Amino acid sequence: MSVVIAIDAGTTGVRSRAIFADGRKSLSSYREFTQFFPQPGWVEHDASEIWSVVASTLRDVIAQVDEAIAAIGITNQRETIVAWNRQTGVPYHRAIVWQDRRTAKRCIELGEFLPTIRQRTGLVLDPYFSATKAEWLLSSGQVPVDSNLALGTIDSWIIWNLTAGASHVTDPSNASRTMLFDINAMRWDEELCETFKVPLASLPTVVPSSGRIDVTAQVDGIPAGIQISGIAGDQQAALFGQACFGLGSAKNTYGTGSFVLMNVGNTPPPVREGLLTTVAWVIGDGKPTYALEGAIFATGAAIQWLRDGISIIDQSSDIGPLALSVADSGGVVVVPAFTGLGSPWWDSQARGTIMGITRGTTRAHIARAVVESIAFQTRDVVDAMTQASGVSIRDLRVDGGAAVMDFLLQFQANLLGVNVLRPQDLEATSLGAAYLAGLAEGIWGSVDAIAQSWQLEKRFEPEGEVPESGYAEWTRGVERSRNWIAN
């Protein structure tokens, strides 16, 4: 057996993908699912619809594969939280998505717990993470807090359904994003669970990111008996898929948001201002690998907004040519703080702004300013990461949907002053999930074997002058977007 299927359950859709260890072209199936915005700043998903899309894409891929499947690996949007009934398997409420900001005021109220949260979880006190979302669900009156309650991130929900309720599990990379998990002791933290009124018994068992977990049940047309052997949050999976196994190696995923991660080894580093420390993965019964992370909330989401919100483009692929149709942004700055600002600002009260508009501004200038904002936000994070760690990144491996844009990656290389490397396989998230599962089953013999399979498609080297004047305008724009919402 040389084929592993990765289920990549993202923020806007699910891709199931068959990856062949012998280098054959992968097979995949993709479906989008509904986004719900019940109030400004609130974002929800229908967990039952997510499972339906997972099952549909998984069936599609299994039907295309004419051989035995060695394993399934799962990667997922991370901080999104689901509450469901263990007996019926029915969600009590829509899933509350990582982008959701409804608990911003609650985070301010809990300010005295920030030092404890920083030290134990490596995170900041922000509505981005799962704990206050779970607290909101449990206090909403719609979720009974009893022995039937199951709480989990999307990976837990998918595995629960794949196993027909036999396994309620997660892995350390996802657990470390909940604000309930002690990344030093590598276990759920009782005091934090009590603080957020989350019963320990409702939480999943934490298992290694790579290792045998369970097998599929015969459910919704999915055959029984396929090993489930890998789990990782999407950004950690991308770090693994980019073969960033060495200390100081870094990647950026240009997805709905953008996430810069740097491998910092087997010891959690001291708390870094403006940055997160997260568990990257745990392989078998080995030591955890940790990463420094800078989380940017809206990059690809800003392109989607141009398409769906204000109809500047008809499809996402239009943005590159449109941005290149003008020499510069014409002084326009777009700060896409639709749901606040992430690293290194962590300002949940910020909101999106468009500045510098004149009568000469066109939709092309706005499109270019959005593309430039993706690179500017990445520089904000990389600068903070370098300052905090004292280590400069040697290069930046990139993936995600927007990484197809040569203009973006060249602008990024110029702005950072380092090489930007685009691999042949841009779906690093699903690739990482497949590698984790395949490693557990012996499909890939070691991380060294995985590293040897990484292949470069194009290198972007810095050229010309660093666009400092544009970055200075960006910095002014960020300052004017901050603290927009009154407490």
pLDDT of residue 376: 95
Q: Is residue 63 part of a domain?
A: yes
What is the tens place of the pLDDT at every residue in 114-148? 999 999 999 999 898 999 999 999 998 889 999 99
pLDDT of residue 394: 83
Angle between helix axes 363-389 and 406-416 (nearest 10 degrees) is 40
Instruction: Identify residue 433 by its one-letter amino acid code.
Output: A
pLDDT of residue 248: 81
Q: Is residue 106 part of a domain?
A: yes
Q: How many domains does the chain have?
A: 1
What is the tens place of the pLDDT at every residue in 348-398? 889 999 999 999 999 999 999 999 999 999 999 998 888 877 777 888 999
Instruction: Identify residue 32 by its one-letter amino acid code.
Output: E
Count of alpha carbons within 13 Å of 420, Cβ hemisphere only? 28
pLDDT of residue 166: 96
Q: What is the mean pLDDT of residues 303-321?
A: 90
Q: Is residue 440 part of a domain?
A: no
| 25-3-170-156 Cα dihedral, nearest 10 degrees | 80
Count of other CB atoms within 10 angstroms of residue 221: 11
Q: What is the mean pLDDT of residues 425-447?
A: 93
pLDDT of residue 123: 94
**Percent of the chain scoring above 90 in pLDDT:** 72
Q: Is residue 381 part of a domain?
A: no
Q: Is residue 283 part of a domain?
A: no
Q: Is residue 380 part of a domain?
A: no
Q: Is residue 11 part of a domain?
A: yes
d(CA 73, CA 389): 32
**What are the b/e assignments for 464-485, b being 16+ CB within 10 Å?**
eeebeebbebbeebbeebbeee
Question: Positive or negative, the Cα torsion across 396, 400, 402, 407?
Answer: positive
**What are the b/e assignments for 22-32, b being 16+ CB within 10 Å?**
eeeebbbbebe
pLDDT of residue 466: 67
CATH number of the structural domain spanning residue 155: 3.30.420.40
d(CA 119, CA 344): 17
d(CA 34, CA 269): 38
**Percent of the chain scoring above 70 in pLDDT:** 99
Give the three-class secondary structure for 49: helix
Is residue 408 very low, low, confident or very high in pLDDT (cuts 50, 70, 90)? Answer: very high
Residue 5 has pLDDT above 90, yes or no: yes
Instruction: Identify residue 170 by its one-letter amino acid code.
Output: T
What is the tens place of the pLDDT at every residue in 170-208? 999 999 999 999 999 999 999 999 999 999 999 999 999
Bond into 223 cis (ω within 30): no
Segments forming the whole domain that contains residue 51:
3-242
Q: Is residue 284 part of a domain?
A: no
pLDDT of residue 1: 63
